[in-house]
Amino acid sequence: MKPNIGHLDRLLRSTSGLLLLLSGTELIPAIWPDMPIAPLLLVLGGYLIATSLFRFCPVYWLLGVSSHRV
């Protein structure tokens, strides 16, 4: 897999992924205990963190987009 995520994109993905994970585990269940959106936030946050760790985004690859500078 060739990296297609640049430095700034990686930083934004990891930060927003962590915020989504925290929201899905702490914030949303505390405010709305029966809200079904918490698992969705966990999946989305995990996806963002995984793509920032591997520096590869399958959606970018499908669209032919890259924020990685050579």
CB atoms within 10 A of CB 16: 15
pLDDT digits (tens, 9 = 90+) for 24-65: 888 888 888 888 888 999 999 999 999 999 999 999 999 999
29 vs 36: CA distance, rounded Å: 9
| Structural domain count of the chain | 1
Q: Where in the sequence is the domain holding 18, given as residue range(s)?
A: 7-63
Domain assignment of residue 70, yes or no: no
Q: Are 38 and 66 contacting, i.e. CB atoms less than 8 angstroms apart?
A: no
Q: Kindly state whether residue 57 falls inside one of the protein's structural domains.
A: yes
Q: What is the pTM of this model?
A: 0.88
Please calculate the CA angle 48-51-49 and round it to the nearest 5 degrees. 40
Residue 70 has pLDDT above 80, yes or no: no
**Residue 68, domain member (yes or no):** no
Alpha-carbon span 34 to 44, nearest angstrom: 19
Residue 31 covered by a domain: yes
Q: Round to whole Å and give the CA distance between 52 and 43.
A: 14
| pLDDT for position 27 | 85
Q: Judge whether 30 lies within some domain.
A: yes
